[in-house]
Structure 1
């Protein structure tokens, strides 16, 4: 990965990074793996050091997933609220890792829990970004039946982000699972409608529709590739751009 020169302007000034809760597990089967959390925090810092304003949404699937809970007989709304609380735990873990690196970070929860996180107030959140603080949006949208993908797209629009960066295990969007099919084809670019029509699994349909309606590009890249997040901002790297 080539280093960015000091004079090179980042591709975007304000972005939202969406990662799954599973990304924090490392090789464990559940929970948070502190070295993995620290590595992701370092990736975030490398982009923050470029002057990019960053907000984040982290899923909760490493601790509890609402859909799985409801599939086992639990009421869906209750299961989803449990999943939202899991995202708060992940957000606090990431906040600690970022602060360990000397960054200023705020966790903002859609469900009020004032002792551990700020309530969501849009203008205050925007001000945090303007002050170069990293924001982690937790508890999804605060409503059951909505995924953290939808929450990420909603918050990215509210914060006037220029793109959503979706960190995954693979370096873009493929026509089929590249880990199972050697002939899987990676897209350099793909439209929102193609993602929906071909069920490419970038984000759920509500999130894709919300991004499409507001012309918000989604950059899908590998969070496992060291320097990948920074590299894309520097105009390098491998990724798929979802656009109109």
Structure 2
């Protein structure tokens, strides 16, 4: 039965990747995972999954450990980055538990082999999971130090033939020319080019991730993750967001 026959609004996208920061999972507690917040985000994802959209996810690890901060405090960068990758696996498992609690089959797929808790990354297997309606959460970044989860998200979105990356942000409803939290006169963009993001250093993603998206014509959609129904409304052609393309 088609989405239209089920009464769902037609969606522009068939397969998307949702990128969220680790900090989005910690709620107001300032550290770690806040189960009610994880459950709220899982419910937002479910509303889009219910439209028949195939969903990949990449979650950062900054709520547990951030490699760059560790290296800034004297830790060897490679070790710090691997610790950050392990933090993303913890977040992915937490999100998987929340999604499966809502009845959605979910697979955590790790770029670092840990067969007891996650599948290894095999592209064709991951594509098959999506085709079967399962949500794939890609964890452990690219499996390599010196690469952020932004780059991992862009890489996986390209490998999975996603039609867009949805960047869920807390407290902002798109891309601004400067930080709207500290600059009341900040201007919000409805659309901005990849090159302008790089030229003005607009902090959407790191430069290598933006360049990878640009080189593969992969649009980024930046939207407020903390707005109830925000993810679903954009798929239905509504809502407030910024498109980077």
Partner Cα separation in structure 2 for residue 191 and residue 168 of structure 1: 19
Partner Cα separation in structure 2 for residue 76 and residue 162 of structure 1: 33
Partner Cα separation in structure 2 for residue 177 and residue 237 of structure 1: 21
- Aligned partner of 1:81 in structure 2 is 82
- Aligned partner of 1:154 in structure 2 is 155
Indicate the larger mover: 29-38 or 7-16.
Answer: 7-16
- Aligned partner of 1:193 in structure 2 is 195
CA separation of 1:24 and 1:7: change in aligned 2, threshold 3 A:
closer
What is the correspondence of 1:6-45 to structure 2 with a 5 Å cutoff? Answer: 6=7, 8-45=9-46
Q: Which runs of 5+ in 1 are unaligned?
A: none
Partner Cα separation in structure 2 for residue 208 and residue 177 of structure 1: 19
Paired residue secondary structure (1:176): coil
Partner Cα separation in structure 1 for residue 37 and residue 75 of structure 2: 31
Q: Which runs of 5+ in 2 are unaligned?
A: none
* TM-score, normalised via structure 1 length: 0.97
Deviations 1:38-61 (A, max 9, x none): 000000000000000000000000
What is the correspondence of 1:200-219 to structure 2 with a 5 Å cutoff? Answer: 200-219=202-221
Q: Is the 8 A contact 2:173 2:240 kept in 1?
A: yes
Partner Cα separation in structure 1 for residue 101 and residue 225 of structure 2: 20
Equivalent of residue 179 in structure 2, options 177, 180, 188: 177
CA separation of 1:230 and 1:207: change in aligned 2, threshold 3 A:
same
Count of residue correspondences? 240
Partner Cα separation in structure 2 for residue 182 and residue 66 of structure 1: 32
Shift of 1:7: 5.2
Paired residue secondary structure (1:142): coil
